[in-house]
């Protein structure tokens, strides 16, 4: 099974932690454990899967900080860690995910400022600058930071993310005006 490319076990009732043997699936490109009842911290076993392009661990009960090892997943295009119990600050290593088009970190306990490269509660302005430092945001298609502790104003520069189709910022502590520059986001659905 070491040549396995897709492992999709989402939407089941698996519980416990992710098995350490997962690290042996070195050819894995898609890993979907979304919507189970998995627990523990973000599994370090996953951080060595350098061929992953899609990682979906949403809707579980993972907790703790998001490991800096996430930056080892340099081929990731879709990263969905939503609806878990992650807390703390975002690791600056997210800046290594240059191919990322979908980032969903919604419904967490994230707080503080995003690393100067990404940006989330952290005043949104700081979060955006953090994201900008990590990614070429012009290619970002989905940005979901809802249900966190994001504060401050939405930076007008977000209007430069012209490929954005989904922007979810609900249930935070954002203030100020909605920037007119967001009207440039013609692809929003």
d(CA 140, CA 134): 11
Q: Tell me the per-residue pLDDT of 77-115, one tens digit each, with 9 for 90 and over.
A: 889 999 999 988 777 787 778 788 788 888 887 764 444
**Range of lowest pLDDT (25-29, 74-78, 161-165):** 161-165
95 vs 72: CA distance, rounded Å? 10
pTM for the whole structure: 0.67
DSSP symbols for 32-54: E--SSEEEESSPGGGGG-TT-SE
Q: Tell me how far apart the alpha carbons of residues 163 and 178 are, in angstroms, rounded to a whole number.
A: 19
Gap between the Cα atoms of 92 and 82, Å rounded: 18
Element of type H or E holding 110? strand 109-110
Is the confidence at residue 132, as pLDDT, over 80?
Answer: no
Q: What is the pLDDT of residue 130?
A: 56
Query: Domains of the chain (ranges plus CATH)?
Result: 6-184 (3.80.10.10)
Q: CA 135, CA 89: separation in Å to the nearest integer?
A: 17
The 10s digit of each residue's pLDDT in 7-47 is 999 999 999 999 889 999 999 999 999 999 999 998 888 99
Could you give the dihedral angle defined by the CA atoms of residues 177, 108, 69 and 46, in that order, rounded to the nearest 10 degrees?
A: -130
């Amino acid at each position: 099974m070491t040549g396995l490319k897709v492992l999709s076990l989402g939407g089941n009732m698996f519980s416990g932690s992710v098995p350490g043997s997962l690290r042996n699936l070195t050819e894995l490109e898609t890993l979907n454990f979304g919507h189970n009842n998995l627990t523990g911290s973000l599994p370090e076993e996953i951080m060595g899967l350098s061929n992953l392009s899609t990682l979906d661990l949403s809707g579980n009960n993972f907790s703790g900080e998001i490991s800096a090892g996430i930056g080892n997943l340099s081929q990731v295009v879709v990263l969905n860690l939503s609806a878990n119990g992650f807390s703390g600050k975002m690791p600056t290593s997210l800046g290594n995910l240059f191919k990322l088009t979908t980032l969903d970190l919604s419904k967490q306990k994230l707080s503080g400022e995003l690393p100067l490269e990404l940006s989330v509660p952290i005043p949104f302005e700081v979060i955006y600058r953090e994201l900008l430092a990590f990614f070429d945001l012009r290619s970002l298609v989905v940005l979901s930071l809802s249900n966190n502790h994001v504060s401050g104003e939405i930076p007008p520069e977000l209007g430069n993310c012209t490929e954005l189709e989904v922007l979810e910022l609900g249930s935070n502590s954002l203030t100020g005006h909605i920037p007119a520059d967001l009207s440039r986001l013609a692809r929003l659905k």
